[in-house]
Amino acid sequence: MQDTLGRKINYLRVSVTDLCNLRCMYCMPAHGVCKKDHDSILRIEEIAEIVKAAVELGINKVRLTGGEPLVRKGILDLVGEIGSIEAIKDFSMTTNGVLLKKYAQALKAAGLHRVNISLDTLNAEKYKYITRGGHLQDVLDGIAEAKRVGLLPLKINVVLIGGFNDDEITDFVELTLQEEVEIRFIELMPVGEASTWAKTHFLSNETVLEKFPDLVPEITNDKSSPAKYFKLPQSKGRVGLINPISNHFCGACNRLRVTADGKIKPCLHANAEIDIRKLLAAGKTLTDILAAAILQKPAGHKLNDPNFEPIERNMYQIGG
Ligand code: SAM
Ligand code: SF4
């Protein structure tokens, strides 16, 4: 389905939980989040129904995210339900990778196509610091298992944080020389915990290109991809730059988001939300609700406006 600006909306991102087994400093408060009342979080069956209705409207790309999707009870059942929908051509998950060693094989068997793994540092001490207690080796084991079972292509998300991992850009880029992996550098966005951080730690992705002038841009036909891709000569993998701030991609936005507590967000950076359960109770169908949300997509975010106010929700609530 197209929105009012003619953008074809074919990508649904669903946050399946706002809980997480890490506490990344730019995403979660140190004390974590209060466990929500069980009833306020969408049930697995409800999420599956939403995805099915979205597919009727032309969604053919689905990503599960969170919080940490692998801590959600019933996640394998949900992956199995979505994995069996033929019209879905790209079915992925964004995960911190901590539990992937345990789940990768079952996820693949249930129909998941691929994973994006978030990893902001290759140094065990720094990993423990930024995640407030995580173990780097768990993620490395998870990455190895995802590769082994074929959750490919493997993408690694690295949020660029000034003063924290700018000294590791070279190590990350050089991983693409020998490995068929996509390293995607993401600019820190002023959302939730990071809304004040972003000003002091923001680093433009241009920094990567300055360090590696021999990165060659790839020509791609996929205008809706937020990443611009580059390759080093002779490398097996590639480098993606996702610049929501310095060069935003709203004009080609193809996505709709659903939060774990059942709200549709037509835009990540706007507070507007549509309460699915409330509208269902008022007699609307899921397809009506999703179609109306698509028509409410704004033209673009206002992150670069001098008077921009960061949104009220955190990334772990919306799903990055
Ligand atoms: N827990 C999973 C994970 O970390 O991959 C999925 C949810 S997490 C919110 C999704 C992605 O959002 C992660 O790659 C995380 O680094 C990113 N993220 C969180 N806060 C962010 C921010 N303020 N700016 C940019 N990316 C952010
Ligand atoms: Fe958890 Fe992902 Fe947020 Fe880190 S970025 S706290 S892993 S939801």
Q: What separation in Å is there between the alpha carbon of 82 and the centre of ligand 2?
A: 23
- Residue 198 is predicted with a pLDDT of 63
Q: For residues 310 and 320, what is the distance between their CA atoms, to the nearest angstrom?
A: 15
Residue nearest atom 10 of ligand 1, based on CA coordinates: 320
pLDDT digits (tens, 9 = 90+) for 55-72: 999 999 999 999 999 999
Closest CA to 238 of 247, 249, 227: 227
Residue 269 confidence class, pLDDT cut points 50, 70, 90? confident
In this structure, which topology does domain 11-318 adopt according to CATH?
Answer: TIM Barrel (3.20.20)
Ligand nearest to the CA of 68: 1
Q: With 90 as the cut, is the pLDDT of residue 87 above it?
A: yes
Q: What separation in Å is there between the alpha carbon of 262 and the centre of ligand 2?
A: 19
- Residue 247 is predicted with a pLDDT of 56
Q: For residues 220 and 228, what is the distance between their CA atoms, to the nearest angstrom?
A: 8
Residue 211 confidence class, pLDDT cut points 50, 70, 90? very high
Residue 23 Cα: closest atom of ligand 2: 6
Q: For residues 206 and 225, what is the distance between their CA atoms, to the nearest angstrom?
A: 18
pLDDT digits (tens, 9 = 90+) for 288-309: 999 999 999 887 766 666 676 6
Q: What separation in Å is there between the alpha carbon of 170 and the centre of ligand 2?
A: 24
Q: How far is CA 285 from the centre of its chain?
A: 27
Is 28 close to ligand 2, i.e. is its CB under 6 Å away?
yes
Closest CA to 64 of 43, 89, 91, 103: 91
**Count of CB atoms within 10 A of residue 218's CB?**
12
Strand-by-strand arrangement of the 274-275 sheet:
216-217, 227-231, 238-242, 181-187, 154-160, 114-118, 90-95, 61-65, 11-15, 255-258, 263-265, 274-275
Q: With 90 as the cut, is the pLDDT of residue 224 above it?
A: no
What is the DSSP pairing of strand 227-231 with strand 154-160?
Answer: unpaired
Three-state DSSP at 228 gives: strand
Q: What separation in Å is there between the alpha carbon of 283 and the centre of ligand 1?
A: 35
Report residue 209 as tokens. Answer: 């290109």
Q: What separation in Å is there between the alpha carbon of 259 and the centre of ligand 1?
A: 14
Residue 271 confidence class, pLDDT cut points 50, 70, 90? confident
Contact 212, 185 (CB under 8 A): no
Residue nearest atom 4 of ligand 2, based on CA coordinates: 24
* Mean per-residue pLDDT, 85-114: 98
Q: Which residues pair with 62 in a beta bridge?
A: 12, 91
What pTM did the predictor assign?
0.94
Closest CA to 242 of 182, 168, 311: 182
Q: CA end-to-end span of the chain, whole Å?
A: 23
Task: Identify residue 289 by its one-letter amino acid code.
Answer: I
Residue 83 confidence class, pLDDT cut points 50, 70, 90? very high
Is 22 close to ligand 2, i.e. is its CB under 6 Å away?
yes
- Mutating to test ligand 1, I would choose from 27, 205, 312 the residue with most ligand atoms within 8 A of its C-beta, which is 27
Residue 27 Cα: closest atom of ligand 2: 3
Ligand nearest to the CA of 22: 2
- CB neighbour burial string for 59-91, b if at least 16 within 10 angstroms, e if fewer: bbbbbbbbbbbbbbeebbebbbbbbebeebeeb
Closest CA to 184 of 317, 27, 19, 320: 320
The rounded mean pLDDT for the chain is 91
pLDDT digits (tens, 9 = 90+) for 226-268: 789 999 999 999 999 988 766 567 888 899 999 999 999 988 8
- Residue 191 is predicted with a pLDDT of 80
- Residue 306 is predicted with a pLDDT of 66
